[in-house]
Amino acid sequence: MRRSTQLVGASQFIMPHIANDLYQSDEARWSALMSSAQSGNESDYRLLLSELSAVIIRYLHSRIGEHDFIEDCVQESLIALHKARHTYDPARRFRPWMFAIVKHKAIDMLRHDRGRKDLVETGQTPLDTVAEPLDDDASGQLMGGLAPDDRQAITLTKIIGLSNAEAAGQLSISESAMKVRVHRAIHRLKRLMEADVA
Amino acid sequence: MKTTDELISQLASELEPVKPVKDTSARSLVWLGLSTVFALLAIHWYGPIRPGALQQLLTHPRFMLEILFGGATIAVLALAGFRSAIPAASAPRLAFVGLVMLALWLASYLVGIVSPALEPSMLGKREHCVFETFLYGLPPAVLGIVVCLRLYPLNPGVMALRIGLAAGLIPALYMQIACMYDPVHALTLHMLPGILLGLGCAGLVWLLQRRQRN
């Protein structure tokens, strides 16, 4: 069952109608599984959450990049989906409901949590990390779509985990300017994420 | 820290049946109906409405239009508020339309300062209309917000603003019939407390959410 979701990304360049069929079959299956979970079916729910966790990881990796906090973000998203499961109406589409929650959680975590990339292990400095070459696969499509200043601000404070003062010191700007930059960067990432079709 | 597989097992083992929320439109209409009945009963219980006000509705089409437009604005805000409690059902366009309608409604009173829909008069003046508007909007606002918080609003502050505005504007609207008619009086002592109630609800929910997070 999970295979079909993994195939969608690759096959859409080859046979759009097959990708569309797989997309529709995932949509229908998830809707049915959630409907069953709403009536208390534990095994269907377990299956649904397992499939969704793989989908969410892939989505966040492709949009934000492969960062340590993605695992936390996936878990927070699953907890949120669990708490919100009564708000899913089986008559409506599943994906928009799910991704509205996932996107909200991702932005919420970026806004309120501080990352914790272990630079000692890699032997890098924070500025090395922000200066890494950025292709869409490594940094995420949406992070790649941010202006360099915004991307630096998010990477230093939210992914590496520096305080605003430390990040400001790295970039030789004032702490208040750093706060503004981080706030603006997250706002822009939120807008990009809202506009993104999952 | 749990692994994702452990978390999934835990969530699955804690699964309890839930009743899916089907129709937010019906829910918002029920809330709107109850809130309107409550505001009307409270206003009539506190004191008589302006003599001849209901006849004025029939004889002065512009006054009738003001009231109908106000009612439509409240309905749109309430619907937008309840929809914002369901992920992906939120309708930013609907909320935008509601806010534009509110601006137009307020503008109609500003125009009324120069060219009023009714001849301004002190007839039917209620001594405490400003407090009445606020107080009669408060219980419906609390009810609506509590109902919506039990759903899953992604932005509780925005939800509370929409519900609070709708709740506060219901008594504000009926005060145009129950209290004296004067556009300046309507703007400052009827509409303003209704709008402040909405802003207050949004601020309170935002603070509570922030406190909960910390």
pLDDT at A125: 61
pLDDT at B191: 96
Q: Where are the alpha helices (DSSP H) in chain B?
A: 4-13, 24-46, 53-59, 61-83, 92-114, 129-149, 156-178, 183-185, 192-213
pLDDT at A151: 86
- Name the one residue in this structure whose structure tokens are 């397992």: A50
Instruction: Closest CB to B4: pick one of A53, A84, A99.
Output: A53
CB contact under 8 A, A83 and B12: no
Is residue A193's pLDDT more than 90? Answer: no
Question: A174: Cβ–Cβ under 8 A, 6 or more apart, which residues?
Answer: A168
**From A34-48, A141-155, B142-156, the region with the lowest mean pLDDT:** A141-155
Determine the Cα–Cα distance for residues A19 and A10; give it in Å rounded to an integer.
8
Q: Is A167 helix (H, G, I), strand (E, B) or coil?
A: helix
pLDDT at B126: 93
CB contact under 8 A, A45 and B15: yes
Determine the Cα–Cα distance for residues A26 and A17; give it in Å rounded to an integer.
14
Determine the Cα–Cα distance for residues B90 and B74; give it in Å rounded to an integer.
17
Is residue A4's pLDDT more than 90? Answer: no
Residue-wise pLDDT for A8-54, tens only, equals 444 455 566 777 777 778 889 999 999 999 999 999 999 999 999 99
Nearest chain B Cα to A71, which residue?
A: B4
pLDDT grade for A195, boundaries at 50, 70 and 90? confident
Residue B105: exposed, middle, or buried by beta-carbon count in 10 A (0-12, 13-18, 19+)? buried
Is residue B189's pLDDT more than 50? Answer: yes
Determine the Cα–Cα distance for residues B68 and B62; give it in Å rounded to an integer.
10
Is residue A7's pLDDT more than 50? Answer: no
Residue-wise pLDDT for A64-116, tens only, equals 887 777 888 999 999 999 999 999 999 999 999 999 999 999 998 888 765 55
Determine the Cα–Cα distance for residues A159 and A147; give it in Å rounded to an integer.
17
pLDDT at A8: 47
Say if A116 is an interface residue toward chain B (CB within 8 Å): no
Residue-wise pLDDT for B29-72, tens only, equals 999 999 999 999 999 999 999 999 999 999 999 999 999 999 99
Mutation target vs A (from B1, B4, B23, B83; most A CBs, 10 A cutoff):
B4
Determine the Cα–Cα distance for residues B41 and A98; give it in Å rounded to an integer.
42
Interface of B with A (CB under 8 A): 2, 4-5, 7-9, 11-22, 85-90, 151-152, 154, 213
Determine the Cα–Cα distance for residues A169 and A48; give it in Å rounded to an integer.
45
CB contact under 8 A, A87 and B20: yes
CB contact under 8 A, B154 and A82: no
pLDDT at A13: 54
CB contact under 8 A, A86 and B87: no
Rounded to 5°, angle at Cα A74 from A72 and A77: 110
CA A116 from chain center: how many Å? 17
pLDDT at B16: 94
Question: B172: Cβ–Cβ under 8 A, 6 or more apart, which residues?
Answer: B70, B133, B137, B190, B191, B193, B194
Nearest chain A Cα to B13, which residue?
A: A42
CB contact under 8 A, A87 and B4: no
Say if A100 is an interface residue toward chain B (CB within 8 Å): yes
Contact B197, B164 (CB under 8 A): yes
Contact B206, B156 (CB under 8 A): yes
Determine the Cα–Cα distance for residues B46 and B90; give it in Å rounded to an integer.
37
A69-83 vs A94-112: helix axis angle to the nearest 10? 130
Maximum Cα–Cα distance for chain A, whole Å? 56
